[in-house]
Structure 1
Amino acid sequence: MGVTDTSTMKKEDAAEQRDLMELEETTVSVCPRCGKRLGSKEQLVKHIRIHTGEKPFTCVQCGKGFTLNRYLKIHVRTHTGDKPFTCIQCGKSFTQKITLENHMRTHTGVKPFTCIQCGKSFGQKKTLDVHMRIHTGEKPYECVQCGKCFTQKKHLEVHMRIHTGERPYACVQCGKSFTKKKNLEEHMRIHTGEKTFTCPQCGKCFTLNRCLKIHMRTHT
């Protein structure tokens, strides 16, 4: 093969490469809001809903809207009770595959999400996100009654019972009610006689940890 032929082939290869790049550019759509590149116009249409807030897929049961049809299908399972993803270890079932994957880590012990501040690891990213607030001091959940802030929504919900007077945990023995489940569990030991907290000095047992702490002062 001569020098001329080789040069011609290189030019043809370069031209073909340019054609492929131009074709790729025509198949990639760019979001005008954030500049994200999507693989197709269909993907761009779906992505745009993040910015517009459009939710064209509506649940006929409760009226809740979703940006994508697959999100609606997952949501509908909360009404039907369908849980197609089952743990082979314990048999527990879930509505989403990702929830099953997160659950499996309780069996495997894998904790892929690590705090860069203290090195503590977690099985789920959302648990790490909550943990990070210890370091950042962020408390995004604020009580509308008194302004007190909390790192987790569930802590705010428990706190709100102070204002509402709600006591959802009732003792089946005497009817006394509590705002927290753990308070009910502690109370139940009065009826059962269970004493789980033992003094390491003298062996005396107590129903509550705080009672043990008070007792320990007699040894110091």
Structure 2
Amino acid sequence: NFGNWQQMVGDQTGDDVFSGQDTGAQNSQVNIPDLVFVSCKYCGDNLPKETEKLIDHCKACEVPHREDSTYSFMCIFCEYHTYKRSDMRRHVRKEIGDKPFVCNLCGHGFTVKSNMTAHYNMKHT
């Protein structure tokens, strides 16, 4: 619920989000991660925008009807479903714009390592 989310934000920033007072604590800390959440279209849970946690929820969410074993992982953003965690990882990365594989020469990012390798071989060799 929203109160829990507020508390989580306050815990991360050091602010008292319930009183509305800025304690300035976030200014004294280094490298506070940006807190970004996405909502599951099935159950409405707010989830951290982190690939592995989202994949876990795609498998664990109890709300959607799973017609057969190909519905082991159901995307919380669209109609995509699969029985393979690796396929869901690739899909979720595309959905949230996560590109963890970065070309060390030009900085272009990719959702899967093989695409980065192909890019490197075509553009930089």
Normalising TM by the smaller chain, what interval? 0.3 to 0.5
Of Structure 1 and Structure 2, the greater helix share is in 1
Indicate the structure whose relative CO is greater, using CA pairs within 8 Å and at least 6 residues apart: 2
TM-score by length of 2: 0.41
TM-score by length of 1: 0.24
